[in-house]
Amino acid sequence: MILITRKILPAGLDLLRSFTSELVINEEDRNLTHEELLTRVKGASAIVCLLSDIIDEAVIDAAGPQLKIIANYAVGFNNIDIDYATRRGIRVTNTPDVLTHATADLAWALIMAVSRRIVEADQYCRQGKFKGWAPDLMLGMELTGKTIGILGAGRIGQATARRAKAFDMKVIYSSRYDKFAFEVETKAKRVGLEELLKESDIVSIHLPLVEETFHLLDTHELELMKSSAFLVNTGRGPIVNEQALAEALKKGTIAGAGLDVYEDEPKIYSELYPLKNVVLLPHIGSATTETRSRMSVMVAENIIAALKGEKPKNLVN
Ligand code: NAP
Ligand code: GLV
Ligand code: GLV
């Protein structure tokens, strides 16, 4: 049996249906609770899960010894206990590459939104406040010639940086390793975290959530940023201390922020809501029809390979 914790797009489901009739799909318009996961996973040889499903030791054990693969419908896999799955000989796969452009586009949607006050301006119009063009109405920050700092120059970080070239922006990045081809292509310069925070007008986070990146940006790091700079997070919420961020936005330590991800999703730290200088999105980085459809096919192909005893393409363990 293949457990699908929530309906994914039809292309992948059709592929799985053509492989087996033994699909158990959560047809409800909501995510499963951990308790429900523990019950429904029993007897599964494969799990298609969302980034919001916590696949821990308990869920893996509840599935039973026949479990062969956990296929995450996401590129990030911090929701899965990879070490335990590996010890149990269970394969874990993700959906890299196919969502790179969609997510980099969304990072840019946030960059434009925060630097030009798009959401605030839209609300201003809807509230009937637009009384005529004015020299000082809704002034924002120009992007041309400014510096963007990419935290985590992997697939999405690099794609975000490439888009910055169209704005004639200077690119700096921080990563554990040099990316030579990327540097040649974008003239990006690798710097340390402190320099990146001090120099950037836009700081864009594209790191995975791991122990070393948890609260990488806290009060001290936010204070290193320019007071005119904007922070954009499309990586994972817990990389930024949300409480410290709200404080920094209130005090004007930084100019604004654009967030797609949160520390305790789907909860959003309540003090962010009243702030005009933050744009809040409901974790929609990869949410284009094209990308979510490709992700569904990828998940299905990984599962079919694993259940046939072959090596899935997108193994992370
Ligand atoms: P990726 O290609 O693996 O890039 C991540 C980069 O982070 C790596 O190239 C790595 O570069 C750097 N990094 C720094 N410290 C690291 C550490 N301790 N462990 C691992 N990598 C570290 O992944 P991606 O496809 O660009 O995705 C990046 C993240 O974006 C995902 O993990 C996910 O959390 C998030 N994401 C969010 C959305 C959304 O909807 N908002 C959508 C897709 C992805 P170095 O090796 O040089 O350090
Ligand atoms: C989305 O956040 C992903 O990791 O794919
Ligand atoms: C603005 O609309 C302009 O013409 O400058």
Confidence of residue 194 (pLDDT cuts 50, 70, 90): very high
Confidence of residue 124 (pLDDT cuts 50, 70, 90): very high
**91 with 70: CB under 8 angstroms?**
yes
How many helical (H) and strand (E) elements, i.e. helices and strands, does the chain have?
12, 12
Quick check: do 2-98+288-307 and 100-280 share a fold? yes
CA-nearest residue for atom 42, ligand 1, is 285
Confidence of residue 197 (pLDDT cuts 50, 70, 90): very high
Q: Residue range 211-221: average pLDDT?
A: 98
Distance 93 CA to ligand 2 centre (A): 13
**254 with 222: CB under 8 angstroms?**
yes
Q: Where are the domains of the chain?
A: 2-98+288-307, 100-280
Distance 130 CA to ligand 1 centre (A): 41
CATH architecture of 2-98+288-307: 3-Layer(aba) Sandwich (3.40)
Give the C-alpha separation, 131 to 221, whole Å: 40
pLDDT at 1: 98
Give the C-alpha separation, 309 to 114, whole Å: 48
From the list 36, 185, 265, 271, the catalytic residue is: 265
Residue found by looking up tokens 């040889």 in the block: 45
pLDDT at 265: 98
Characterise 175 by phi-psi region: left (phi > 0), alpha (psi -120 to 50), beta (else).
beta
CATH architecture of 100-280: 3-Layer(aba) Sandwich (3.40)
Type and span of the H or E element at 171 = strand 170-174
* pLDDT tens digits along 97-118: 999 999 999 999 999 999 999 9
Indicate the residue type of 176: R
Distance 74 CA to ligand 2 centre (A): 4
Give the C-alpha separation, 151 to 139, whole Å: 27
Q: Residue range 121-142: average pLDDT?
A: 98
Residue found by looking up tokens 């039809």 in the block: 10
**Ligand located closest to 133 CA:** 3
Q: Which of 50, 73, 75 to mutate to test the pocket of ligand 1 (most atoms within 8 A of CB)?
A: 75
Question: What's the mean per-residue pLDDT of the chain?
Answer: 98
Site residues for ligand 1, CB cut-off 6 Å: 75-76, 96, 99, 103, 152, 154-157, 175-177, 206-210, 212-213, 234-236, 260-261, 283, 285-286
pLDDT at 271: 98
pLDDT at 240: 99
* pLDDT tens digits along 62-98: 999 999 999 999 999 999 999 999 999 999 999 999 9
| Two structure tokens written together for 116 | 């030009």
pLDDT at 251: 98
